[in-house]
Structure 1
Amino acid sequence: MKIAMRIHAICFILGIILSVTSLKAEEERLWQLHAVDIQAPYAPAPMANGCIGILPQKEPFAVEHVMLNHVFDAASPHVVSRVMRGINPFCLSMKIDNKKVDTSNISGWQQTIDMRRAVHRTGFHALEKADVSYELCALRNLPYAGLIRVTIQACKDMLLEVRSEMGIPDDYSQSSIRYREMEADGNRMYMLESDATSRFGYRRVASTSSFLFNGEQIKPMYDEATRELFFSIQLKKGETFCFSLVGSVCSSRDFFDPYNEAERQVIYAVHEGEEALMQAHYRLWDELWQGDIRIEGDDDAQRIVRFALFNLYSSCRGGSRLSIPPMGLSLQGYNGHIFWDTELWMYPPMLLLNQDIARSMLDYRFDRLPAARKKALAYGYRGAMFPWESDDSGEEATPTHALTGPFEHHITADIGIACWNYYCVTRDVRWLQREGYPLLKEIADFWTSRVTRNQDGSYSIHNVTGADEYANGVTDNAFTNGAASLALKYACQAAEICGEKVPEIWREIGENIRVLQFENGVTREHSTYKGEMIKQADANLLAYPLGLITDEYRQRQDLEYYAERIDQKDGPAMSYSVYCVQYARMGEADKAYEMFRRCYEPNLRKPFGVISETPTSNNPYFMTGAGGLLQAVLNGFCGLQITDEGIVQLPSALPSHWKRVTVTGVGSDKKTYVRER
């Protein structure tokens, strides 16, 4: 009897262990994205750390380019600025028995993006002689550096040769590559180095790379003819060999002496060692993932939503005083400039889940307040007038052929709303006094000089481009007017908290800006709008995120009227996310889920689920779409809302097959919110 009871107890314990192990494996699976067919369509996914972005490709060891955050040069003579690609120190190639490893001689290829650890893994069988795997990451702990870790298991006796070179894109006019061997505190180091001047001379960029051998005594050589650093080693069948390549990229934007800093960062990495570097990288990503979204009942949605969050986390970092361009750190799309995409789409999820990153995005605007003042003065207005497209200078960087630069003024109100919401979440009165209110005051002064008073005492805003950029030079654009009225209201509230006198004109204008309607009560996008195709949601933004239309009947009218007027071919990804939020809050789960799917499915690109800007484009990750997708879940299905009293959870409905949404790490006190069916 006792033996039987013991066997039963042991079986019971083993069952628990197996169950827990199975649950952990299932949970781990939801953190990973896979590719298994090298011949299939392939949209690359960037690996970034807020300062550099590395774009891996499917070919063995291929890295398309390295993007630099907010490092600009002119795109061409007398043309606006364009963000630069960096010198690429991650150019690896491999030979086995003197034959180069490439797509023609590998099998069993697969790639995995591990979102939890922020690494991009590739594995394959090469030349029927070796199993090769490597993982690439943009180090979170060294924001100007990245690491590639390689493991080779020999299936036969073989000669392995590995080469590293510097990739210098055509963003540069002058460049040099050199080899340096040096000793630091008894450690012999062998480094490949490069520096270059941008094509039009705005910036200098430097890069350094070095192999790491985990204590093995291997001396790399320098090939003068090809300007490559290389090593070779004989491997026996069954032997496993590991090495890493660490590379850094620094610019004169961030360092007075980028050449020596790039070298210094690699020396630091060599002394730290691969394991310490990776453990610090994992630790910082664990901290980021305190703010997470968990969806039970829909594994596909879980991965897509988490990938959106992963990409936003990758694109910025607290303390950098930088923001996020529409394409993040994946490529040069939109010249790497900062738009309303930041404040209206990407910033709200960051404000809920990571206030350090949100603060950085606001710091970016505050630092460029003097330039915004100059722009207002240049156009005959008071206060601060922020550019539609901002580069590092904070001046207008929109190409001159685009009317959005001179006329898309709602960006100034969008920044004011973001500023107030930061205070609502953090309740940081000192920040409001020192930075928030001064910024809001300048924005309010701009709008008082921008509006026109009508005979009936109402106010209009003439000659603008609204969120719907297909309509230029219109009067009383719904979103522009609504955003301006809120910016004025928040400036009044901030003044009262800071003990400042509130100009009466702010209140008068804010309460009397026109929002037009058709005869049937549908919000009219602008004074001459007659139902034509629109680029993206505009009038619908008055219900969410602005919260100016609260009546459900009016919201539903606006939703039904405008949803099918959006450009289905070239409209950007995020419009349907605001529809999802509104339907979810009205309790219409099926309609909300329909809109949720429409805000990303047409834009998904294989194999990892990269979201492109439009249903017909194929750019790498569109960060604006990520922001919209996250708002659909956070503010829609989970019902989170930022109010004057802080974060609250409103009633909302989940899709019928979703069991639960759990959002962790919300707000300054890192609260957890749950929505169940």
Structure 2
Amino acid sequence: MHFDPVIFPSPSAFKPERWHTSLPESASEDEKLLAADRMRKQNSSFRTFGGGTGLCSGRFVAEQEVLTAVCTLLLLFDIEFEKGHENFKLNHRTLGIMNPKRDEELQIMTRGSLFHLMANSRPGTEPHGLGDNSIMVSGLSSDSYAGLIFWDSDVWMYPALLSLFPDHAMSINNYRTRLLGQAIENAQSYNYSGATFPWTSGRFDIALSHWHYYLHTKDKEWLREKGWPIIGNAADMFANYVVRNTRSKKYETKLLGEPDEFAYNIDNGAYTNAGIKMLLGEWAPSAARVLGIATPSNWSEIAENMEIPFNEKEQMIIGFDGMDGTWTVKQASVTLITYPLGWNMNERQAQNDMTYYSAKNSPDGPAMTWSMFAINEAQLQEQGCAAYTYLQRGLYPYIREPFFQFSEQVSDDWHTNQGTHPAFPFLTGYGGYLQILTRGFTGFRAQEDAFFMDPMMVPQIPEGIKIKGLKYQGGVFDIKIGLENSTITRKRSSGASGSGTLSPVIVRIGGKAYKRGDYPLAVGESLTLKTPRPDLNGTIIAGNLAQCRPISSEDKCVPGSIPQAAVDGSNATTWQPLTPQLASLTIDLGSICRVSGVSINWGPIPPKAFTISGRNNSECEFAEIFMTEDIAISEPYLGPEDAKIVRIRPGNSTMYLFEEIHQARFVRLSIEGTQGDDKSTGATVAEVAIL
């Protein structure tokens, strides 16, 4: 059987001969033995799917591993499977998302992510025991977390499947239905009404996934028979769980844990309380209204008066009662309130949450964290291109070659990772990444009466993205988000979720998008609008020539602290070299420009010295423009008591106007030394502006 390279493209830099050796029939026995030995030794360096088998001759290779190899190699080889594999077929001509051909690594990660989710789930239409098992953290490939089902399936893997392969998403919901009886018994054992799924299964996130299934399919019968029993019981339990504060008249939660797994036995977790607010105020009442079911009067009372910890001075949400400024967050928590919960007080609060918690998240946290930052940044950022920084931050520290598989954490070393092995392959990371494409750049959100979009694109993906076959409310759509224009096309409804209606589907363009409004889209029709570009909305520092320009560095950086962060228009992201030794960034201004000065926000850790150099083309040497070893600290450390104050730190900043104007296309910033307490890593650069 031959695989079409259109389906699985591969980076040409891969060296398949490391594990695939082809010898002519005339080869001697000695040559064959040498080749086999070479394959055996080289294969020993490959890490397969968890406890899976190695890739070597004469050994059974799991169907999943074969397909992953195919994903990476088909641009180099037209692979023909040996006899006995004739019935091994691909079910999908295209696996949903097409990224630019020039960025082959993004493309292979996209298709690999879809492959992993599809290979580890089954259609929910299959019978009991097959279509009701959900997805484990590492799927069937390893026994990570003892094969338990966490919120990873409902919150992280489910959304992309729901949009592209809703039958497979159904199996995640079916798993909840299968265990609902036990969840009701769990609640009763604690004297609660409703249903309580264990921590290793999830909580109100389950109600959200069920409500979204209805929004995507408009399957009212499913909502009545399967969706409402989950949503209604979840609402009953949380209405019974909250405690009314007689002094503040607010409803609170006590002794709980948050998605931030460092935050246990705390009160009023912001994410939990916001989720309860949405469950009792929107999701459950909306589902009940569709079905004509009366809801308890206390639901709205609780939702309207739910306590959300808030810092009035900084206009930001606090993670939980008593959280101070020294608190490090393990993973996305407060950030999840804007997306996927879909609630915030106002846009300023949401932006402040992003800025504060980006700096407070642990660099050793799990892979899916930064996908939520990317999605929220795409929605909220008015200037710059930090959505791409977060996309990169959530990929490369966690991706393992040669098959571009996600690991759960930055370090796989048991000795340096607190005595733990991260989950591998980490399907939660795949799910988070796919949401950047299906929810981030598209701005797609599920609404009861419309297909909502608020698209945007970053200049680092010049050919944009194309999502093929997104299913919503009986329609099938192809979406192209380009640098200039975005187009949504309604296709034939074969394979659509729900009824597969031929009636027009309302496409709602909102947010910061141009051409806002409602547009009925019939089969065969397209809607084209200008793509919003935050990178073209001016610069956060007036006269900055460097914002969102191409940037590179030959020096290793702290994982996730990438060069792009220094020019993305956000002080919440930083570039940080791996060591305090001399390290440089090179910025391409695009053309020869007049350079009169530099303004740098160093973030928390200034260097001891920096140099600005320039050149007009890539063939000449860099010439020094400015150098100083006198970098003042504008945001000094004021002691442990000040550190406990929750506030958005502006970062240390430096500005110099040069004595004369220089001309350069390429500008290099070189830094050396660190003024931080940790002398093993380099200084930070939050934003460099070339004036």
| TM > 0.5 | yes
1:669 is the counterpart of 2:467: no
Alpha-carbon shift at residue 296 of structure 1 (Å): 5.2
1:613 counterpart (408, 412, 423)? 408
1:420 counterpart (196, 199, 211)? 211
Distance 1:33 1:382, change over 3 A: farther
Alpha-carbon shift at residue 642 of structure 1 (Å): 1.5
Contact 1:577 1:595 (C-alpha < 8 Å) held by counterparts = yes
What residue number does 2:683 align with?
A: none
What residue number does 2:183 align with?
A: 372
CA distance in 2: counterparts of 1:621 and 1:634, whole angstroms: 21
Distance 1:36 1:133, change over 3 A: farther
1:670 aligned counterpart, secondary structure = strand
Alpha-carbon shift at residue 285 of structure 1 (Å): 3.8
Distance 1:482 1:108, change over 3 A: same
What residue number does 1:644 align with?
A: 448
Alpha-carbon shift at residue 645 of structure 1 (Å): 2.4
2:316 aligned counterpart, secondary structure = coil
1:552 is the counterpart of 2:342: no
Alpha-carbon shift at residue 652 of structure 1 (Å): 2.2
What residue number does 1:539 align with?
A: 334
* Matched ranges for 1:261-660 at <5 A: 274-275=85-86, 277-278=87-88, 281-282=89-90, 284-286=91-93, 289=94, 291-295=96-100, 297-319=102-124, 320-390=131-201, 411-455=202-246, 456-488=248-280, 489-519=282-312, 520-531=314-325, 532-549=327-344, 551-569=346-364, 571-587=365-381, 588=383, 590-617=385-412, 619-660=423-464
Alpha-carbon shift at residue 346 of structure 1 (Å): 0.7
Matched AA of 1:586: L
Contact 2:64 2:119 (C-alpha < 8 Å) held by counterparts = no
Contact 2:11 2:104 (C-alpha < 8 Å) held by counterparts = no
CA distance in 2: counterparts of 1:658 and 1:274, whole angstroms: 39
Matched AA of 2:112: F
Distance 1:27 1:312, change over 3 A: closer
1:545 aligned counterpart, secondary structure = coil
Alpha-carbon shift at residue 110 of structure 1 (Å): 8.9
CA distance in 2: counterparts of 1:364 and 1:242, whole angstroms: 35
Alpha-carbon shift at residue 654 of structure 1 (Å): 2.6
CA distance in 2: counterparts of 1:139 and 1:463, whole angstroms: 42
Alpha-carbon shift at residue 27 of structure 1 (Å): 7.0
CA distance in 1: counterparts of 2:357 and 2:205, whole angstroms: 22
- 1:115-139 superposed Cα distances (whole Å, 9 cap, x missing partner): xxxxx9968xxxxxxxx79994528
What residue number does 1:248 align with?
A: none
1:526 aligned counterpart, secondary structure = coil
Return the structure number with greater strand share. 1
CA distance in 1: counterparts of 2:108 and 2:319, whole angstroms: 36
- 1:298-334 superposed Cα distances (whole Å, 9 cap, x missing partner): 2221222221121111110103112111112221110
- 1:486-532 superposed Cα distances (whole Å, 9 cap, x missing partner): 22221111111111111111121122211111132111000111131
Give identity over the alignment, percent. 28
Contact 2:455 2:481 (C-alpha < 8 Å) held by counterparts = no
1:602 aligned counterpart, secondary structure = coil
2:200 aligned counterpart, secondary structure = coil
What residue number does 1:29 align with?
A: 9
Contact 2:8 2:108 (C-alpha < 8 Å) held by counterparts = no
Matched AA of 1:29: P
What residue number does 2:63 align with?
A: 138
Contact 1:343 1:415 (C-alpha < 8 Å) held by counterparts = yes
CA distance in 2: counterparts of 1:103 and 1:379, whole angstroms: 61
Contact 1:424 1:643 (C-alpha < 8 Å) held by counterparts = yes
Return the TM-score normalized by structure 2: 0.58
What residue number does 1:157 align with?
A: none
CA distance in 1: counterparts of 2:397 and 2:290, whole angstroms: 45
2:37 counterpart (81, 90, 104)? 104
Distance 1:567 1:108, change over 3 A: closer
Alpha-carbon shift at residue 274 of structure 1 (Å): 4.0
2:479 aligned counterpart, secondary structure = strand
Contact 2:121 2:135 (C-alpha < 8 Å) held by counterparts = yes
Distance 1:30 1:451, change over 3 A: same
Alpha-carbon shift at residue 107 of structure 1 (Å): 9.2
CA distance in 2: counterparts of 1:305 and 1:579, whole angstroms: 18
What residue number does 1:185 align with?
A: none
Alpha-carbon shift at residue 657 of structure 1 (Å): 3.5
Alpha-carbon shift at residue 294 of structure 1 (Å): 3.2
Higher RCO (CA 8 Å, separation ≥ 6 residues): 1
Distance 1:620 1:242, change over 3 A: closer
Distance 1:242 1:653, change over 3 A: closer
Alpha-carbon shift at residue 634 of structure 1 (Å): 1.5
CA distance in 2: counterparts of 1:110 and 1:655, whole angstroms: 39
CA distance in 1: counterparts of 2:150 and 2:369, whole angstroms: 16
Alpha-carbon shift at residue 361 of structure 1 (Å): 0.5
Q: Structure 1: 5+ residue runs without aligned partners? A: 1-23, 39-57, 61-94, 114-119, 124-131, 150-240, 245-272, 391-410
What number of residue pairs does the alignment pair up?
Answer: 437
Matched AA of 1:308: S
Distance 1:524 1:107, change over 3 A: closer
What residue number does 1:209 align with?
A: none
Distance 1:602 1:356, change over 3 A: same
CA distance in 2: counterparts of 1:108 and 1:335, whole angstroms: 31
CA distance in 2: counterparts of 1:589 and 1:421, whole angstroms: 31
Q: Which moved more, 1:472-481 or 1:484-493?
A: 484-493
RMSD: 3.6
Contact 2:184 2:196 (C-alpha < 8 Å) held by counterparts = yes
Distance 1:297 1:444, change over 3 A: same
Contact 1:296 1:660 (C-alpha < 8 Å) held by counterparts = no
Q: Which moved more, 1:456-465 or 1:646-655?
A: 646-655
Contact 1:34 1:608 (C-alpha < 8 Å) held by counterparts = no
CA distance in 1: counterparts of 2:396 and 2:278, whole angstroms: 33
Return the TM-score normalized by structure 1: 0.59
- 1:598-634 superposed Cα distances (whole Å, 9 cap, x missing partner): 1111111121211100101265310001111111121
CA distance in 1: counterparts of 2:171 and 2:11, whole angstroms: 27
Distance 1:348 1:589, change over 3 A: farther
Alpha-carbon shift at residue 555 of structure 1 (Å): 1.6
Contact 2:258 2:264 (C-alpha < 8 Å) held by counterparts = yes
Alpha-carbon shift at residue 106 of structure 1 (Å): 4.3
CA distance in 2: counterparts of 1:28 and 1:495, whole angstroms: 44
1:549 aligned counterpart, secondary structure = coil
Q: Structure 2: 5+ residue runs without aligned partners? A: 22-27, 47-52, 71-79, 125-130, 413-421, 484-691
